[in-house]
Amino acid sequence: MFDSFWRSFFLFLWSGTLVLAQDVPKAQPLIGSGEVVKEKSKDLAATLSTQKEARTMRLSIPAPRGQIVDRNGLALAQNRVVYYLALNFPFMDKATPEKILSFAKDRMEAANKLLGKTWTMPDDKLISHYQNRRWLPLVFSLEEGLNVELSNDEQKKLAPLLEQGSLLLQPAYIRYYPKENTACHVIGFTGKTRRLPEGPITDGDPLFEEMEGRDGIELTFDAMLKGIPGEINLLFDADGKLLSDEVLRRPSPGRTVVLAIDYHLQKYAENALRENARNGGAMVIMDVRNGDILAMASYPTFNPNEFVFGIQSKRWEELSNDPRMPLNGRAFRGEYPPASPFKLVTALGVLESGKVTPTSSYYCGTDLLIGDRYFHNHNTKSDEGNMNVITAIKRSCNTWFYQAALDAGADPITTMAMRLGFGERTGIPLKAEGKGYMPSSADHRIVGGELANISIGQGRVLATPLQVCQCMTAIGDGMTLKQPILVKQVQSLSEVIVEAYEPTVRRQINLDPVARDAVVKGMVAVVSGSGGTGHEAAIKQAQIAGKTGTAQWKPAKDQRLAWFTGFLPASQPVLAFAVVYEGRPGEKISGGSYAAPIVHEVFKKYYDGAPADDALVAAMKDVPKAVSLEEGELDENGVKPETTEQVKPAGTAPARAVPEQKTLGGFFKRLFKRS
């Protein structure tokens, strides 16, 4: 019977071995052998010429879809065989609609009674199938129009009915995501290419439903993953019995796509977001040395296995209408104000302009009057005195960056931002990657309050977590902006590399060493220095250089963002990272308290769980610590930082920083932090 054919056929597909179909007469050759017994051939020819119900047909065999694996070969997307319940129509002499429906409904009712189901099919489809396609099975285990897989227990219960031959288990291979939600926004999901034909059989009709990529890597690499269909020739006698089956061309399985993602880092990042960023968030981790994306986690997640059979409308509405947007790949699609991590860009820009130096000092007050508006510091309770760039980064002093930006002008900052990849897509092979936005003087003159907002990563500046992480790799490297790599290579079934994606440099950035050194020292002080805002990110295994951030995000809903970005080890960067935490309406958050602990958790778990020969851990072992420069200490040339003072404005625009006068007034001002 056809059931035996399917079982033998799928054993052939999966094992690569040619299997004898049990229902084929003994003289029939092995499936796919291409040998024909002459006497049998004559008999079949006679059958075809004398019995109009006999059929021969040439059908397409969908190819098994290729795998998607992580950088170490761990499967993230593969295939499995499932079984559906189908009607197996015999030839009926003088088949009337009533006769066809009676046969079909009797068999479906018997199956439903055994399984406790209510599966059915419209009368017109039953009649049409018999008239046009009765040689092929008709699946009726359907709910809301979607195929329903039979469990092992259900298959056993059906055994008595299956022996009668009018019902059969129709197999198909479908997509399977063994790690479920892990990296779901990167991998994507599949759907049916099209429904099975319902009219008369034509050459090339598929044996069973084909799958295609709908999102993520499944979509971008669909052509490589789907493989090349095979072809089979089937011959039936007048009673619908399969007489001959010959595989004319074996299906060629799809390619294997090898991601740069490290499953363990990805899982640690997703777990940390799930536990600590319940409203939503993202984390990206990249290799500074070559641009590999080792983790690109977004939360909330979804299970791509829900899409395999076709997602039910109720569940689709739940996912689509969930206010936390679980289908949104925040790590590469979410566009956020980058907040204080952008101060690193501002610092590099103003330092390279020459109008601000590593020892230039500005007064860090609670606010600064620009035009007719006061722009506030994150610390609105007390002034913090004079600071150089290192301490300004450590303390994340807004008013320092306002003044430095106004002195240097917009161009050094916006140009540096574009050098570091802001305002342009990274080019990873995923659709709908966010571009972000970087204002430019080419569009209009940027001055005053707009420049102040830009200097601290607010206003119209937008970036994805991936762009921010890419920026950290560039600062960590100092010389180049590397192309982020999400896919390492594509392999054949025999593991031959057919496509490789080598590290490439997007552009030379050649950061000024003095400017970069000052910025990195400030980043080290954020995590390790006294009064730094990112202490909760620190781990004992490596020194982290980082930057906290808190952004106004959705003012109408009183929602904020918390950021923590950076790289490690500080003195010889190997891994760069960016974390964003989406606050709930009204939630008071900060980068140091909400995002930095996520970084701590992820890297601590990675170090604790890494094998002894882990390449990344080995690259970060025995790296000397970087030295941060605290306010008032000597710089690397033995020179004391300048001690210029910015007088807190009182209704007038601020003057440029001027050297502090050595008077008792200046002493008391610093002592009591009063203006």
Pick the CATH number of 263-659 from 3.40.710.10, 1.10.760.10, 3.40.50.2300, 3.30.360.10: 3.40.710.10
H-helix segments, 303-424:
313-321, 330-333, 343-353, 389-395, 398-408, 410-419
Once rounded to an integer, what is the mean pLDDT over residues 175-193? 96
So what's the pLDDT on residue 150? 96
Q: List C-alpha distances in Å: 221 to 180, 416, 429, 489.
A: 20, 34, 9, 11
pTM for this structure?
0.86
* Among the listed residues 405, 435, 428, 392, the one whose alpha carbon sits nearest the alpha carbon of residue 631: 392
Domain 43-259 -> CATH class: alpha beta
Q: Could you read off the pLDDT of 47-59 as tens digits, one per residue?
A: 444 445 678 899 9
pLDDT at 225 over 80: yes
Beta carbons within 8 Å of 183's beta carbon, 6+ residues apart: 76, 259, 261, 263, 266, 270, 296, 297
Domain boundary assignment for the chain: 43-259, 263-659
Which range has the worst mean pLDDT, 196-205, 215-224, 341-350, 656-665? 656-665
User: What does the pLDDT read at residue 258?
Assistant: 98
CA quadruple 98, 100, 106, 112: dihedral sign: negative
% of the chain beyond a pLDDT of 70: 85
Q: Which of 43-52, 157-166, 333-342, 486-495 has the lowest mean pLDDT?
A: 43-52
**Percent of the chain beyond pLDDT 90?**
73
What pLDDT, in 10s, does the model give residues 118-129?
A: 999 999 999 999
**DSSP class of residue 91?**
P
What is the predicted pLDDT for the residue at 628?
61
Q: What are phi and psi of 475, to 5 degrees?
A: -65, -40
The β-bridge partners of 79 are: 175
User: pLDDT confidence of 381, banded at 50, 70, 90?
Assistant: confident
pLDDT at residue 96, as a whole number:
94
Q: Which of 71-75, 91-95, 547-551 has the lowest mean pLDDT?
A: 91-95
Q: How far is CA 645 from CA 292, 586, 634, 656, in A?
A: 44, 36, 18, 9
> Cα dist. 400→364, 384, 389, 489, 650 in Å?
6, 10, 8, 46, 17
pLDDT digits (tens, 9 = 90+) for 518-534: 999 999 999 999 999 99
Of the listed ranges 10-24, 168-182, 327-341, 514-528, the least confidently predicted one is 10-24
What SS3 class is residue 336?
A: strand
Question: Which among 371, 550, 363 has a CA at the least distance from the CA of 457?
Answer: 550
Closest CA to 560 of 546, 573, 549, 544: 549
pLDDT category, 295, cuts 50, 70, 90? very high
pLDDT confidence of residue 207? 87
What percent helix, strand, coil does the chain show, rounded to 5? 35, 20, 45
Rounded Cα distance between 644 and 635, Å, is: 16
- Structure-model confidence comparison of residues 91 and 520, the more confident one: 520
Tokens of 191: 């759907």
Tokens matching residue 670 = 């610093």
Task: Confirm if 360 and 644 have CB atoms less than 8 A apart.
Answer: yes
CA distances (Å), origin 392, targets 366, 519, 589, 629, 655: 13, 10, 20, 11, 19
